[in-house]
Every structure is written in C-alpha cells, then in structure tokens.
Structure 1
Amino acid sequence: MTTIQPIARLLAVILIAAMVLVAIPSPVHGQGGPPPSARLDGIRLTPQLWNNCGPANLTQALSYFGWGYDQTRAANYLKPDPEDKNVSPGQMAAFVNQQTEMPTLRALWRYGGTLDLIKRLIAAGFPVIIESGFDVEDLGWMGHYETVIAYDDASQTIWHFDTYLVDESGSMGIARPYSEFDYWWRHFNRAFIVIFPVDRENEIRDILGSYVDPKYAAEQALIVARQEATEDPNDSWAWFNAGTSSAKLGRYHDAAIYFDEAFRLGMPYRVTWYQFGAYEAYFNLGRFEDVLTLANNTAATTLYVEETNYWRGMAYAGLGRFDEAVVQFDEALAFNRNFLEAQTAKDQVQNGTFAAAAPVPSQ
C-alpha cells in the first residue's frame, strides 16, 4: 500500500501523545462507583442460527425487556442474506431504534468502553452487548458478539452469554477473568451496545457521563490505543484501534498512519470482514488504489460482506470509473437492501453530485 508518511513521523506522533497523556483527564462517568457484584436475571439465552451472531445477541438482550420475537426478526432486517458475515454495532442499535414492536426501547453504541462502565450499566439493570475477538479451534480469529450478564470484583470475573458456545454458557453464562475479557474486547476498540427503555434515558445519561458524546468516547479510545502502542510498539491491535478512533473523529491523515503500521505489523485476514475504518481513512485521502487493494484482498477470502462492494464502488467513483462503481453499489444492495449508504452513493454518482478527494498516485 501507499505510505503517505514515514514510520518515523508515526512514532513521533505516538511519543507526543504519550507526553500529553498526563494532562488528559480520566473518563468521566456518573457519580458513585458500582457495587462489587451484580447479575441480570431474565435474559433468555439464544442459540444462534447459521452465521447469526449479531441478531441472536440482540434478541437475547432484548428478551430482558420482554421481547418475544426470535432472532429471525432482527436478522431479516440486519442481514437479509444469511451468508452475510457482518452486522455492525451501529446497525444493531439502529434496528432497536427503528423497530415498532416495542417502540419504547432505545439503544446506543460507543467505542472505548471500560470495565467500570459495563459494571455500572449491569448493576443498574441495562443489558450490554460487546463486540469481541474470538478464536475458534481450526477456524482462526474472527469477530463475535457477547451479552454481558454479571460481574464480581472479589473474583475479578465477568459472565456473558455466548450464542455460539451455548453448552458452555449454561444458565449462568461463561465466566472469564477481567483481564481475559478485556484482551479480546480490545480487538474491536472496546465497542459496546446498551439497550434501555426511553423513560430511563436520563438514568443512562447519568451513568454514561461524558460518554453520552460519541466523539468523547472515540477520544478516550484513542488515548488508550496510543498508550498501548507506546507501551508495545509491536502491538498491531493498538495501532489498528488508534486508526479506528481517528477515522471516527474524522482525522484521516492520522488514521491512515496508524492503519499503515497495523497492516505492516500484521492483522488477521478477517479483520476487514468486520471493521471498515481503514477504507474510510484511505478513501478520504484519495488513496483509492489502497481501498481497492483492501477490498480485493477481502473478496478473496469471502464474497459475503456487502461493505466490500460498497468501498470498492466508492474507490471506483473516486477514480472516475462511474459505471463500475454503480455495479458495485448494486451488488451491495442486492446483498442487503437496507444498506442505505450504498443507495446514497449510487444516487450521487448517477445525479452527478458524488464528491471525493483527488486521487493519490499509487507507489
């Protein structure tokens, strides 16, 4: 891939960040610490159907509030094609906010979650879904959702329902040490989804504190990622998370630097099945050939990620190859009719309003 700035510049950015960390306040949550332990009762463990981790976790979290539908209700909206490999946290939150069966429920998602924040939410009676790394024997690394149901400070243990490992979950959930839980959670920049009744929104705001603002959450995630990269410059996940947070904040030059280093160090090939910040950063800098490289590499491992077609289409449009772009947007929409970004981009290409940065020549 094209490297727009040398690694020395990247390391300088990290060293500067490390020096200013002491001046940055800790995350601000609501007042008062969480109790030493808590457990949510009434969540219905939901064994996932084929390739249905996201909808299954959403269904079991919603069951806490009396949701009576099975996982196909969420799946029909989130992933009309059962082969779809990915449902993003934003899509899951949008489903809750748009569904009409229980219109008094809401959801939000953020990057940069903390164990303390999860504990506060669980103790207050709010189900939390986290996106996490997952290593399956003989299959390798992949993304996974888990529904947190309990924690205990004395044993430093967190419990979650796993829709894939149903037998291990049992009625009490899978127990994991805090450190192990966080190790896998950081593979998705510590993303979390919380579901709540609309009449308890003020309570949620009090618990979240400054995390009510998604930009604040992304800033906190960026601080943590930079610190982790400073402590271990060979930590590819730290660099990748810094890129993800920077892209979320619209700092595409910084994001591209971080992603370049993450890919140089090596990432699991499935990472672009689930996370798309690198596409966003490269696209917004005019690195369309690098977008195409990422998309083509991903397509070589699976054809069932509509975001691959979307970003390939965006790159083609950026290069002025509009007919090819429309084909890609159509393929994304054929796979998921609810993928509105693809429809918007297609409309812009066809009505002449599509805009992009000037292409950067490939090196």
Structure 2
Amino acid sequence: MPLRWMLLLWCGWSAASAQPVSVTLKNIRHEFQALNNCAPVTAITLLGYYGTQVTQAQAANAMKDYPGDPQVTSLELAGYLGRAGLRSVIRYAGDAELVRALVARGFPVVLQQRLQTGSNVAHFRTVYGYSKGQFLISDPLLGPSLRLSTAQLMALWQYYNGEYLVAYPPAREAEVRQILGADFSAAANWQHLRQHGEQDVKARPNDPYAWWGLAKAQLRLGDVRAATESFDRAVRLGVPTVYFLYRQEAFEAWTQAGQHQKTVDVTQRALRAYPNSKELTGFYDLASAALRKATVPRSTTGVNGWHPISSD
C-alpha cells in the first residue's frame, strides 16, 4: 500500500471494534474555498490524498455549469473524481461508527451537511480523523482542523439524511465493499434509508428533512404514491426554498405521479431566488410542457387543491 494511504497516528486499539481509538490520516490537503466552491475544494482534497494535484480553479471550471454556479451535486463531484481515475459510492443513512470504520482503513469520508446549526446552506466536509467522542474535519470554509463532537456531527448530518461519499482507487474496492457491507449495494442502501426514515419520522414527526429522506427512499424503491405523500408532508412542514436548489427528488416524484402543477408552483418560487439553476429550469420546463398538453382544466389553486407553502 502506498505510504500516502497509511495512517499518521495510531493511539491504542479498541478491543471491541478492532479499530484504533484515535486516527488521523496524513496528506490531507486543505485550501479555503472561493464563493460556493466547497465541492471543488473537496475534490482537490480527495485527489491530493490519492496523489493527483489540481487547482481549485481547475476543479471549479470542470464541475460548475457556469462561473458562480452555487450548486455542485454529489453526483457531479463523483463524476469529476471518476475522470481522474477514482471510483465513488454515494450512500445514505450513514452513522458515526461507519465513518470511523472507513477512516480507520484509510478512506477519507465526504459528508453532505448543513453549514451550521440554523443555516439552510448545504456544505461538503471531509472527515479525515477521529478520537474519543469527536471527529477531525477539513472544512473548505471553516478551516483544516474543524472538530465536531459525535452529537454535533449527527445533528448537522440529519439535514441530508446521513449522505456520504467515499472515493477510492479501483484496486481498493474490495476494502470498501467489506466496510460498507450490504450498504455497498445501492438497492440495499435504499432499503436501509427507508427503515431509517420510518424511524426518524416517528421520532421527529415535525422534521421536514426526516420526511424528505423517507420520501427519497420510497421513490428510489418504486413506491411513487408513498413518496409523493411524504414529499408533500415535508413541504408542508417547511422545507426552505434553498433546499430545492440542492435536491430535486420531489419533482421527480410529482412528475411520475402526473402532479405537474406542484412542480411548477415550487420551481417558480425557487427560480426567483436561483434563476440560473439548470436543474430547477429543467423540471419547470418539463412540468409546464405537460400541463400545456393536458386537456382537463386546472383550477387556480392547482392540482387537487395544492397550495405551495413558502417556508424561507
């Protein structure tokens, strides 16, 4: 194994988990981000760890749809890393123990979280170490040595339903499969997320992000009716407009269910804030075209009495 994958610090071992109780990975390159550049900085952090050097500007130019694009998705990040020779898996319902297991084996873990408590801004962070009760994180905005307690990490992670990305050289895929177990399979991970989501909405019935995670799993598992109901619940509870810039699964569900007015109503509102979003524009155009083709008159309140709720 190349030395850059080895661990810098091993301070004792946990007999219960057969993992070191404290780990810090070396060769973690940090750079403070330019505006809306957390994804490009995350990319150069991962690529640098595995031995490929690119600049923040190069990564941003390759990943963004236009200069100043405020949103790069996990899929776009994975695609860029793939062009550099790394494979990636994006999974959900992650937990602190899984993050420790990956880091202990030499894999930095990218988390999709909210920027800070009370913020609606999405943010990529790279976990590259841990010790008892806390995690060591390279944060493109807050610095190279951000430390979060387990409770803080999990609270910020709920916003994105425990979404994580693991990038690795193809030769190390067997290790990633072993650590993730059943969750290496996307289908199995959607089942895991649905179970997790069902537990979350029982524990936090007024949490729109819990309902969103359940809805996303239901959609990916083919239960469109249940997904639309869960997405509707999330919107009624107060999903902020910016969330639709980062996630568009509700539009997918409403499109499949033929509930195009819902998509038009929400994307219109979101596009007033983010007029250059190709994702929002694409779903708005698709839904508008479907409504133009419809022969059944629509009421002014929308399909089935739908009333979108602004929740910013």
Cross-structure match for 1:226:
198
* Aligned residue in 2 for 1:39: 24
Q: Are 1:91 and 2:72 matched, yes or no?
A: no
**1:1-363 correspondence to structure 2 within 5 Å:** 34-99=19-84, 103=85, 105-135=86-116, 140-152=119-131, 154=132, 156-166=133-143, 169=144, 173-320=145-292, 361-363=303-305
Paired residues, what number? 283
Does the C-alpha gap of structure 1 residues 298 and 33 become closer, same or farther in structure 2, counting only changes over 3 Å? farther
Match of 2:9 in 1: none
Residues in 1 aligned to 2:224 and 2:147: alpha-carbon distance in whole angstroms: 38
Deviation at 1:32, TM superposition (A): 5.7
Q: Which runs of 5+ in 1 are unaligned?
A: 1-30, 323-359
Q: Does the residue aligned with 2:43 lie in a helix, a strand or coil?
A: helix
Map Cα deviations across residues 253-298 of structure 1 (whole Å, 9 max, x no partner). 1111111111111122211110111111111100100011111111
C-alpha separation in 1, matches of 2:31 and 2:191 = 34
> Could you say what secondary structure the match of 1:131 adopts?
strand
Please say if residues 44 and 59 of structure 2, whose CA atoms lie closer than 8 Å, have aligned partners that are also in contact: yes
* Matches of 1:279 and 1:32, distance apart in 2: 42
**In 1: Cα distance, 2:129 partner to 2:245 partner:** 29
Give the match's secondary structure for 1:300.
Answer: helix
Alpha-carbon RMSD: 2.1
Matched residues in 1 for 2:279 and 2:26: separation? 36
Moved more, 206-215 or 33-42: 33-42
Contact 2:125 2:140 in 1 (8 A): yes
How many angstroms does 1:118 deviate by? 1.2
Tell me the equivalent position of 2:11. Answer: none
Counterpart of 2:127, as a letter, is: V
Whether the 8 Å contact between 1:59 and 1:74 is mirrored in structure 2 is yes
Report the CA distance between 1:145 and its aligned residue.
0.5
Q: Any conservation in 1 of the 2:194–2:213 contact (CA below 8 Å)?
A: yes
- Distance in 2, matches of 1:83 and 1:303, equals 12
Query: Alignment identity in percent?
Result: 27
Give the deviation of 1:33 after TM superposition. 5.0
State the secondary structure of the residue aligned to 1:264.
helix
- Structure number with the bigger relative contact order (C-alpha 8 A, sep ≥ 6) is 1
Stretches (4+) displaced over 4 A: none
How has the CA–CA distance of structure 1 residues 194 and 133 changed in structure 2, closer, same or farther, with 3 Å as cutoff?
Answer: same
- Identify the residue that residue 343 of structure 1 maps to in structure 2: none
Letter in structure 1 aligned against 2:22: S
> Which stretch has the larger CA shift, 51-60 or 241-250?
241-250
1:136 Cα offset (Å): 8.0
